Amino acid sequence: MDLPKSFDIQEIQSFDPPKRRLMGPGPSDIHPRISSALSRHCIGHLDPEFVKIMDEIKTMTQYVFQTTNRLTMVLSAPGSAGMEACFANLVEPGDKVIVCINGVFGGRMKENVERCGGTAILVEDEWGKPVDPNKVEEQLKANPDAKILAFVHAETSTGVRSDAEQLCQLAKQHGCLSIVDTVTSLAGIPVLVDAWGMDAVYSGSQKCLSCTPGLSPVTFSDKAVKKIKNRASKVQSWFLDMNLVMNYWGNGQAKRAYHHTAPINALYAMHEALLMVREEGLDNRWERHQKYHLKLKKGLENLGFRYLVEEEYRLPQLNAVFLPEGYEEAAIRKRLLEDHMLEVGGGLGAFAGKIWRIGLMGHSAREESVDYCLEALRKVMG
């Protein structure tokens, strides 16, 4: 049969990706154990054996978040969907939400609040600085009717860490729920959901968990679940409605209701990634990120790089640095990629063309990567 249209597709072949080293703001390098898990035999999404590993994924996700929250799961979509899920479920039309902005991702939170029909009250801090708890407290006092405080724990656009514990406690003192972005922080620096009293927390698979991109671990406190269950209006997103998704992830009940077909193989990979965190131990993993950050820092400073963020607020897993004078950043980054198969990140927004973001996330945070990166830099800049 003649197809109605012809397409220029005869030359297309299977894709064999270049073997780059990933030292940007994510995705990070993937351990062979994880890529091997990804290619295992696909089984059905309601197969009893699959349900078993979903339960294990849930338990290990609770461990990584350090929480006993029953509503803990891995969403079948990337970190941005985790963000959207938290806002879509918790923000009802008319709700006032205090949103902290000190980089790109805080700006997206504002966008989410408004699309959910809420009003965003902004607390803005300079890029490269942490969220100022004093300003947050001022806004909480000035807006006693605010329902939620939202902020980014680890701002990937600038490499800055904000004090999640203090901010969540402030939210609690003022009767607000907290929504916290831990996409870059989870499994790289401490994220203690229960001890810090966090309410709705989302992350991503491809940063310090070093899994393939496209999944989002999330967890909701009992208080957050109560608000979701008592909403006056339905959650506007059907796919992300936790009332429905929780019935698939088995929120306490044995029977699972079909909601969507889980990305089976991606979840095999997530299971392996979480298992690797458990085997290493969270505290050892945090220590490892810090150790290689210090090693990289020393080498970078010797080459004339300068950190954007004050030491106290620096993320070990995301090194935001100014290049030494006289170098054209885009040209060097291109040479690293093409001649050395090494990816580092450029700057975003106000820092585009000004800084680099060198990631030491998950499997990328290792001796060999740091040595390789410094050696490549010496060659390209020497």
Ligand X SMILES: *Cc1c(COP(=O)(O)O)cnc(C)c1O
By CB under 6 A, name the binding residues for ligand X.
Answer: 26, 78-80, 83, 105, 152, 156, 181, 183-184, 204, 213
Backbone angles phi, psi at 144, to 5 degrees: -65, -15
Q: What is the closest distance, in whole angstroms, from the C-beta atom of residue 355 to ligand X in the complex?
A: 15
Q: Any bridge partners for residue 23, and if so which?
A: 344
208 vs 277 by CB, closer to ligand X: 208
72 vs 212 by CB, closer to ligand X: 212
Q: What is the closest distance, in whole angstroms, from the C-beta atom of residue 26 to ligand X in the complex?
A: 5
Containing 219, the helix (H) or strand (E) segment is strand 216-220
Q: What is the closest distance, in whole angstroms, from the C-beta atom of residue 174 to ligand X in the complex?
A: 24
C-alpha 4 chain-centroid distance = 45
- Both tokens of residue 342? 């090494």
Beta strands at 216-220 and 306-307: parallel, antiparallel or unpaired? unpaired
Q: Any bridge partners for residue 109, and if so which?
A: none
163 vs 371 by CB, closer to ligand X: 163
Residue nearest to ligand X (CB): 79
Radius of gyration for the alpha carbons in the chain, expressed in angstroms and rounded: 22
Q: What is the closest distance, in whole angstroms, from the C-beta atom of residue 218 to ligand X in the complex?
A: 12
149 vs 376 by CB, closer to ligand X: 149
- Both tokens of residue 319? 């090194």
Q: Is 2 exposed, middle or buried (CB count within 10 Å of its CB: 0-12, 13-18, 19+)? A: exposed
96 vs 207 by CB, closer to ligand X: 207
Packing angle, helices 222-229 and 79-90, rounded to 10: 60
Beta strands at 154-155 and 200-202: parallel, antiparallel or unpaired? unpaired
240 vs 377 by CB, closer to ligand X: 240
Q: What is the closest distance, in whole angstroms, from the C-beta atom of residue 204 to ligand X in the complex?
A: 4
Q: What is the closest distance, in whole angstroms, from the C-beta atom of residue 155 to ligand X in the complex?
A: 6
